[in-house]
Amino acid sequence: MKTVTIYQLNHLSPALFQRLKTSQMEAAQVWNCCMQMHKAVRLAHLPWPGRDELQKATKGRFALQSQSVQMIVAAFLATIDITRQLRQTHPQMKMKYPWRTKRFYPVKWPAQAVSKENGRVVLPMGRGRPSLVLPLELPEHSGACSLVWNNGFELHICVEIPQAEQASGTVEATIDLGEIHLAAVTTNTGQALIVTGRGIRSLKHLRSKQLGKMAKKQSRCQKSSRRWKKVQRAKHKQCRRAERRIRDLRHKATRKVIDFCVHHQVGTLFLGNPHGVRNKNNGRHHNQRMALWEYGKDRAYLTHKAKAAHIMSFTGSERGTSSQCPRCGHTHKPKGRQWACRACQFSGHRDLVGSINMHRLAFGEQVNFPRSFTYLRPGLSRSRSSRADTPQRCLSKELAQPRIADTVSWETGQTGNVA
């Protein structure tokens, strides 16, 4: 199984930085050539160009290695195929074929083109042109790589990782993704887990506040002046730092979810798709939180880790699962983190209610509400708060949920009702 390892290219010399920038601009020209050619034949109602036609049109014209050009052509054709499918299956999305001219585009190299020499990575740029040499120590089973700009240059390396042995679990589980609690997991055997996402949300809020202050300072400067560029570099530095911390917490949170599934022998996993929650206007503060909620990355991380653990995962709509009582079926809009039914006086955690109701949609069976659950944090943050990552209440109105320690895990046999 393959995964991607990200290497940040810091402290580059001005000459090497300019070469990397020029290579991405050259890759953008390859994309623009394919886009213009496809657009012309599409408007003329002629047969669309395939791989051979596009490779012939881009051969020998750009200052890139031939395999890099071919990979850009393959990426363009993949975009065309996905757009065609979405236009047929989801016409309401009104997807457009590639039409905008790009200035930069990631440069790609296949595995056979990447060379590793004494702690260096050699990336060819074509016959008669010097190769790009980066001081990086790549892992043994590294393969294809891509040069990406993400507030700074990064090298994305495809690495082969060992896959777990074939799992024999027969337990079914569902995951309710959320912004406050990243994942709420329930199984048909009565086990439950909640992994908080408050740390990720606080990092995003801090990033937004700091970027707002920098933007205010930058608005008082002449564009492209020395002070404007200084503030711009500070913005890039802050964005990269926040993204690293958020990515680290997301990896740790999804890892705890998959380890919970492996421990309880889960063989089939359903991931709820919360698409559509952003369509409703609930004020600028809530709209900003919804815009910053990256549930697509959460699903991608969980799917990738589940595949490595030999857990079959699939996704589907979760519409109506968080507003229906799992005991009597009464429907109303919940408020707060505690779900209280007005008909049968049932009370339970709001996210667990959504996850329990997903069993009926995904597997066609009604599962009993869990008597207890495990509450975990993705990891320890540097700045601790007395109110951060703390659950509101337990599963009933009579007993309150105590604070869960950072060391609580299923490996020690402790559950959500242990302080």
So what's the pLDDT on residue 24?
97
Residue 330, domain member (yes or no): yes
- Identify the sign of the CA torsion 233, 234, 238, 244: positive
Domain end call among 138, 160, 182: 160
So what's the pLDDT on residue 319?
85
- Identify the sign of the CA torsion 73, 79, 82, 87: negative
Residue 131, domain member (yes or no): yes
**Cα–Cα dist 210/130, whole Å:** 41
Residue 205, domain member (yes or no): no
Q: Is 311 found in the same domain as 286?
A: yes
Residue 232, domain member (yes or no): no
Angle subtended by helix axes 51-58 and 66-89, to nearest 10: 140
Domain end call among 134, 160, 186: 160
Q: Is 187 found in the same domain as 122?
A: no
So what's the pLDDT on residue 237?
92
Q: Is 126 found in the same domain as 11?
A: yes
Q: Is 324 found in the same domain as 175?
A: yes
Residue 233, domain member (yes or no): no
Q: Is 182 found in the same domain as 128?
A: no
Q: Is 305 found in the same domain as 192?
A: yes
Residue 229, domain member (yes or no): no
So what's the pLDDT on residue 31?
97
Residue 98, domain member (yes or no): yes
Q: Is 404 found in the same domain as 288?
A: yes
Please state, in angstroms and as integers, the Cα–Cα distance from residue 391 to each residue in 99, 206, 238, 294, following that order.
48, 22, 30, 22
So what's the pLDDT on residue 118?
83
289, 277, 379, 282: which is closest to 323 by C-alpha?
277
Q: Is 275 found in the same domain as 143?
A: no
Residue 213, domain member (yes or no): no
Q: Are 161 and 152 in contact (CB under 8 A)?
A: no
**Cα–Cα dist 170/168, whole Å:** 7
Query: For the chain, what is the domain count?
Result: 2
So what's the pLDDT on residue 381?
52
So what's the pLDDT on residue 335?
82
Domain coverage including residue 295: 171-198+248-412
Q: Is 395 found in the same domain as 257?
A: yes
So what's the pLDDT on residue 270?
95
So what's the pLDDT on residue 414?
40
Q: Is 397 found in the same domain as 290?
A: yes
The pTM (predicted TM-score) of the whole model is 0.81
So what's the pLDDT on residue 97?
95
Q: Is 180 found in the same domain as 81?
A: no
pLDDT averaged over consecutive 10-residue blocks of the chain (419 residues)? 89 94 97 96 94 94 95 96 94 92 96 88 93 89 92 91 74 93 94 94 93 95 94 93 94 95 93 84 85 92 92 89 86 84 87 92 90 87 47 41 35 37
Q: Is 108 found in the same domain as 79?
A: yes
So what's the pLDDT on residue 326?
87
